[in-house]
Amino acid sequence: MCGRFANTLPSDAMAQLFDAAPANTLPHVPNYNVCPTTDIHVIYRTDDHRRLVPMRWGFVPKWYKAPNDGPLLINARAETLADKPAFREACRVRRCLIPADGFYEWHRPEAGDKQPWFIQPAGEGPMVFAGIWQDWQQDGQRLSTCAMVTTEAQGRMAEIHHRIPVMVRPEHWAKWLGEEGHGAATLMCAAPDEALRFHRVSRAINSNRAVGPELIEELDE
């Protein structure tokens, strides 16, 4: 799973990069410790244009009576996305993109403590996760919510953790957003090792209150 990530790209740069109309209020950046249940930047398509908006990271199904009425759904498995009642409608008609600099994952060596890693793109540009979104409303409370799509990790990533977020390359953004017809399911695969860089980071990231660019700095061995 992916439970934390970093995002430092300015909101206006995101809007330009994705050719998306920005909402008036967007989450603060830079944020080196984006945590579940907070608002994150999300790009989705509506009324024949893209929008850049804030959404709660933690998908809330329509039948939840409150946002905490069931499990916290920050990730959605690609293998079951089309079948799970919570996600199957969203995977057809409400797909989105989630930009980031990279994400954190924790590896537990044998007989050792969990060690956090930072995984980021090997090349230039942001890391863009495949996501799904859902508007939820109950008793006058309304939330726009989302989850990241994950798949089985391969290669070096699998040595750190068995799951990885699905990453969407720029040439496939339109397909994932539903702008180019069918075929989005073919994009739900793990990024190859050569597309990623890996380094260990400080255990300071273990706290959801930790802040600052030092969180993504490589840990001295």
Q: Which of 116, 130, 129 is nearest to 198 (CA)?
A: 116
Which is the catalytic residue, given 89, 105, 110, 194?
105
Query: Which bin fits 155, alpha (ψ -120 to 50), beta or left (φ > 0)?
Result: left
Instruction: Please list the alpha-helical segments (H only) found in 94-217.
Output: 155-160, 173-176
Q: What is the DSSP letter of 112?
A: S
Q: What is the DSSP letter of 124?
A: S
The span from the CA of 15 to the CA of 52, in Å, is 6
Query: Is 91 labeled as catalytic in the residue annotation?
Result: no
Contact in structure between 44 and 18 (CB atoms under 8 Å) = no
Residues in Cβ contact with 19 at an 8 Å cutoff, skipping those fewer than 6 apart: 50
Query: Is 2 labeled as catalytic in the residue annotation?
Result: yes
Over its C-alpha atoms, the chain yields an Rg (Å, rounded) of 17
Which is the catalytic residue, given 2, 91, 96, 146?
2
Distance from chain centroid for Cα 89: 19
Name the 3-class secondary structure at 121. strand
The span from the CA of 67 to the CA of 38, in Å, is 12
The span from the CA of 175 to the CA of 186, in Å, is 10
Active site residue ranges: 2, 105
